[in-house]
Amino acid sequence: MAKKSHFLLGFVLGAASSLAATYLLTPQTSDELKEKFSKTKDDLSDRAADYYDYARDATAEWRESAQSMVEDLKQRAANAKHDAGDVASYDDATQALKDELTDAPEVPASDDFDDIVLDGKSAFAQAKDDAETAADDLGEVATEATADHDEAEAFDDAATNDIDPSVPDEAARADQDNPEA
């Protein structure tokens, strides 16, 4: 606030001095100069009076506001002295609530509880990865099943023809020996 008042004071003094220098350095008669100087003086004194009234009103409002705040704080302090018994019951209630919360189980009673997902994008990416892993596992199982099925068919054919399917040359020789089969 002090910087603003110093600035305004300097501004007013500078304006007044520049106005005086301008009037004194211009070629005018002394009567014209006296008349302009008196008008300017009256205007400046009116402005100064207006600013003084404004500042006085503002400080009066601030003073009233500060006094009401002090009275309110005094009233609160007086009420706090009378409510000292309430503080003890407040402390007891707080301690009881704290005990109740610490005794509560941390794990929910049902197994159906699902964690809260905070990042939906990562949850969807994880579900996608899980699905791809399951598809890969299913593909491997299908490949193994197809290989087992082909092997079982080979054993069935060998059992019907009395050929050892583990030896590929014997199977090829059997096909050559028995072209009807």
For residue range 53-62, list pLDDT tens digits in order.
999 999 999 9
Secondary-structure percent of the chain, ordered helix, strand, coil, rounded to 5: 80, 0, 20
Which residue in 43, 17, 45, 21 sits closest to 33, CA to CA?
21
Cα(70)–Cα(9) distance, integer angstroms: 33
Highest mean pLDDT among 60-64, 93-97, 148-152, 175-179: 60-64
Helix, coil or strand: residue 117 = coil
The pLDDT of 62-89, averaged and rounded, is: 79
| Cα 85 off chain centre by | 40
Report pTM.
0.28
Where does residue 36 rank: exposed (0-12), middle (13-18), buried (19+ CB within 10 A)?
A: middle
Cα(33)–Cα(164) distance, integer angstroms: 137
pLDDT in tens, 116-164: 655 556 666 777 788 888 878 777 777 877 777 777 777 666 667 655 5
Reported as a pLDDT band with limits 50, 70 and 90, residue 14 is very high
